[in-house]
Structure 1
Amino acid sequence: MKLPVYHGRISREETEDLLASIGKDGSYLIRDSETVPGAYCLCVLNQTFVHTYRVSETSGKWLVQTLKGVVPRYFSSIEKLLVTYEKPGQGLVVPLLHPVKTNKIQNQNEGEIYLQEEREYMEMLGI
């Protein structure tokens, strides 16, 4: 996955620490699921609690498991999914407001290169 908010294989604890250090409701990132191979987790901070939503792809369509009772919605790309959930009232506890980017560069020849050990918070410039 090549998204600025994708943090790869970081643990739930690392995710919670990172989002807590930012401290803004609506801060979010995507990481690999620790329990479901091939799935991702959309992690969102709201009032010091990190809410985790499973994100998966089936037959080229992306789905996020939202609040109970919300009709599932499918998206042609994860970017479209993220843009939709930036708006209030879409089924998440809080809209996606503050993307937490990773400090990795994707290089086709060399793989992932870490620019620095710590991740920093930056505003996303659009998807």
Structure 2
Amino acid sequence: MRLSAYHGNIGRAETEDLLASMGKDGSYLMRDSETVPGAYCLCILNQTFVHTYRVSETSGKWSVQTLKGVLPRYFSSIENLLAMYEKPDQGLVVPLLYPVECKTYKIQNRNEDLQEERKYMELLGK
């Protein structure tokens, strides 16, 4: 499965920089979780702050940890999950409006004077 807003193994700081550069509430991307192996983070910009929600798969169904008090919903695919949260009042701080696509771009490695090329990455479905 190809998901253009999936950025793979990028860190929190790079995520915040990418979303801040968009400058629009509802801009979002997905990345690998840094703390939970096999889980993903759905990161959304709202009023200059990046909100992060964990997305995980259990028994073939995908869910996102939303705001407290909102019952979890389960989806057969990440695409279906994202489509639901494009609608307002679904338990996220703002609806998903603007996917930050992972296109080929050059980044400068701060520790070394090397350039790295990032390309579309695949999020493997189960």
Q: TM-score interval w.r.t. the shorter chain?
A: 0.7 to 0.9
Give the AA of the match of 1:101: E
Aligned residue for 1:36?
36
Specify the SS of the correspondent of 1:3.
Answer: coil
Structure 2 unaligned residues grouped into runs of 5+: 108-117, 119-126
Matched, 1:14 2:14: yes
Structure with the greater relative contact order (CA < 8 A, sep ≥ 6): 1 or 2?
2
Matched, 1:65 2:65: yes
Q: Alpha-carbon deviations, 1:18-59, whole Å to 9, x = none?
A: 100111000000000000000000000000000000000011
Give the TM-score normalised by the residue count of structure 2.
0.83
Alpha-carbon deviation of 1:76?
A: 0.6
Pairs aligned (count): 108
Question: In 1, distance between residues paired with 2:100 and 2:81?
Answer: 16
Structure 1 counterpart of 2:105, from 106, 113, 116:
116
Alpha-carbon deviation of 1:2?
A: 2.6
Give the TM-score normalised by the residue count of structure 1.
0.82
Alpha-carbon deviation of 1:117?
A: 1.3
What RMSD, in angstroms, separates the aligned Cα atoms of the two structures? 1.2
